[in-house]
Amino acid sequence: MAKEVKFSLVFRDMWQSAGKYQPRVDQLVKVAPAIIKMGCFDRVETNGGGFEQVNLLYGENPNKSVREWTKPFHEAGIQTHMLDRALNGLRMSPVPKDVRKLFYKVKKAQGTDITRIFCGLNDPRNVIPSIKYAKEAGMIAQASLCITYSPIHTVDYYVNLAKQFIEAGADEICLKDMAGIGRPVSLGKIVEGIKKLKKDIVIQYHSHAGPGFNMASILEVCEAGCDYVDTGMSPLSWGTGHADIIAVQEMLKDAGFKVKEINMAAYMEVRTQIQEMCDDFLGYYIPDLNHINNSLLVKPGLPGGMMGSLMTDLEDNLKSLNKWKVKNNQPELTTDDLLIKLFDEVAYVWPKVGYPCLVTPFSQYVKNLALMNVIQMEKGKERWSMIADTIWDMILGKAGQLPGPVAPELIAMAKEQGREFETEDPQSYYPDKLDEFKKEMQENGWELGEDDEELFELAMHPEQYRAYKSGKAKADFEADLAKRKAAKNAPAAGAEGPKSVTVQVNGVNYKVEIAYGDATPAAPAAGAAPAAAPAGEGEDILAPLEGKFYLVKDNSETPKKVGDAVQAGDTLGYIEAMKTFNAIRADKAGTITAILVNSGDSVEEDDPIMKMA
């Protein structure tokens, strides 16, 4: 009898891999019946890492989204699954133990059946507690092997890792080939080895299309006994996304596997709705290059899920760098120039920091470190001259054990800065905090929510949740979207264009001033942050890079204020760029005489953010 292979639609990851945002809840609820009518999916990835944060960023409650979005699939007998970052929960940074435990209770209550647990270091100390917490909450615990290609990450390495997860109680194993650089034959051997450990263990394969291996990889893992395959669909398949369900289904059918048929009328209906979502607002955050497969990705091994936001963010990085180059009479770089320099630097940096698997958050850390190196070297500065504290945490072992050794020059740098390498269980560095967040909610008069879901949201995403509750997140997003829509009205070279346009976002009209070339708009876009307080005396403290300015990165810190005395090396605030908080440190002792921007404001490189005397 032919072996059956079942399909999952990774709807969350389709958007994550294409661009920056996810659909609104009304769009999700509308498309669900058509996905069900397609008839070929036994599972749908509905939520998880990234999904909830971007909901908050554009002012939508993710708890409402998850509950309403998962409901129709349950009613149709289709399982829902989510992406889970183990020690980091749903975010980039580690999560306290009590918040991790609440995480699974909330997601199970909201309607998520399966949690796909992964750690970019493949450290069992980070994954195994999540297996336990998920099972206690009644979820199916799917433990992931983060796939990459290096001298350390061999077939035996992965089979032995799966053995530890199975012995710890994992219900299923996922081969998470997040960059699509797993080599097909090796992947088949990994699946074969896992099935020898436990014949009936469910294995699901997840891969991205970008480098070009993944159709061959899908066939190899299925021949070796894989049970579920993740797929995407047009217009968000291929490129930085996933293989399209039509191609995968036809390939496996031809190979003799039992697979479900696709209702093509429903497929076209879903395809049309996805395109409508892109036309509405999501497409403004999807770079054209993300639709294209690119074998250059084989060398750096950057994951598809990161490439979506990377290409959007890279536009701003390039603009900022070229502004500096023009100011310093240097030739500007093209996007391709910067991409090739970045990819080469990732390949250089990766072994130096111990071969972490390039998946969230470590893909962002390695990419950010590489990009900072490129930018600093383009400006004539030294490599490694700007390393964020969270990246140091990875290098020092605070996030888990690195697969390989750290380069001697980084060990020496850590010693010079008084940083120590860590060997304890990573969770021990992040004590319980739910009581603190509960107190904050009570003081603000905020409801804890059904099944404590609002408490969970604040505890998991503090800064984003506070911005959501204040309305700042929605205002910032709508102002940014208005600018992007207005940019489409830009005139051809040499033509006279409008000085302002009015655009509508979610039913609200925004008047947007437009500047061409080096001109400066007469006024900021509607919805922008209010003007900062008047400047005091002293020297300007400049933003070291482009991003969002924050006085603190979490509620354990006390924000600096005007009148505070600081010593050389003290942290003045942070620039959040590329999902990393980069500390701004005082060059010398002095007193803060002015704070020129508000916490959460966007700043460009070299913008004055404080004054010190």
* pLDDT for position 532: 41
pLDDT in tens, 116-144: 999 999 999 999 999 999 999 999 999 99
* pLDDT for position 528: 40
Q: Would you say how long the chain is, in residues?
A: 613
Extract the tokens encoding 341: 């320099």
Q: How confident is the model at residue 488 (pLDDT cuts 50, 70, 90)?
A: low
Q: Is the pLDDT of residue 519 over 50?
A: no
* pLDDT for position 546: 78
Q: Could you tell me the maximum CA-CA distance found in the chain, to the nearest angstrom?
A: 81
Q: Is the pLDDT of residue 529 over 50?
A: no
pLDDT in tens, 214-257: 999 999 999 999 999 999 999 999 988 999 999 999 999 999 99
Q: How confident is the model at residue 432 (pLDDT cuts 50, 70, 90)?
A: very high
Torsional sign, CA 86, 91, 92, 94: negative
The CA–CA distances, whole Å, from 307 to 154, 259, 297, 418, 556 equal 25, 30, 10, 34, 32
What is the average per-residue pLDDT within 181-196? 97
Please choose, from the candidates 611, 581, 583, the residue with its C-alpha nearest in 3D space to the C-alpha of residue 597.
Answer: 611
* pLDDT for position 600: 83
Per mean pLDDT, which range of 16-25, 321-330, 507-516 is the poorest? 507-516
What is the average per-residue pLDDT within 36-56? 93
Rounded CA gap, 50 and 55, in Å? 9
Rounded CA gap, 86 and 94, in Å? 9
Identify the top-confidence range among 258-267, 332-341, 504-513: 258-267
Left if phi > 0, otherwise alpha if psi is -120 to 50, otherwise beta: which for 48?
Answer: left
Question: H helices within 58-206, ranges in order?
Answer: 62-75, 97-110, 124-136, 155-167, 184-197
CA dihedral 396, 400, 402, 405 (to 10 degrees): 40
* pLDDT for position 552: 87
* pLDDT for position 254: 98
Rounded CA gap, 504 and 522, in Å? 20
What is the average per-residue pLDDT within 584-596? 90
List the chain domain ranges: 6-284, 309-424, 473-528, 539-612
Per mean pLDDT, which range of 115-124, 281-290, 529-538 is the poorest? 529-538
CA dihedral 115, 116, 117, 118 (to 10 degrees): -160
Mean predicted lDDT score pLDDT of the chain = 88
Please choose, from the candidates 54, 511, 518, 52, the residue with its C-alpha nearest in 3D space to the C-alpha of residue 282.
Answer: 54
* pLDDT for position 489: 62
What percentage of residues in the chain have a pLDDT greater than 70?
90
* pLDDT for position 309: 59
Rounded CA gap, 252 and 124, in Å? 33
Rounded CA gap, 70 and 44, in Å? 9
pTM of the model: 0.80
Note whether 194 and 145 are within 8 A (CB).
no
Note whether 371 and 342 are within 8 A (CB).
yes
Q: Which CATH class is domain 6-284?
A: alpha beta
* pLDDT for position 558: 85
Q: How confident is the model at residue 390 (pLDDT cuts 50, 70, 90)?
A: confident
Q: For the domain with range 539-612, which CATH number is right: 3.20.20.80, 3.40.50.2300, 1.10.510.10, 2.40.50.100?
A: 2.40.50.100
Question: H helices within 111-175, ranges in order?
Answer: 124-136, 155-167
Q: How confident is the model at residue 308 (pLDDT cuts 50, 70, 90)?
A: low
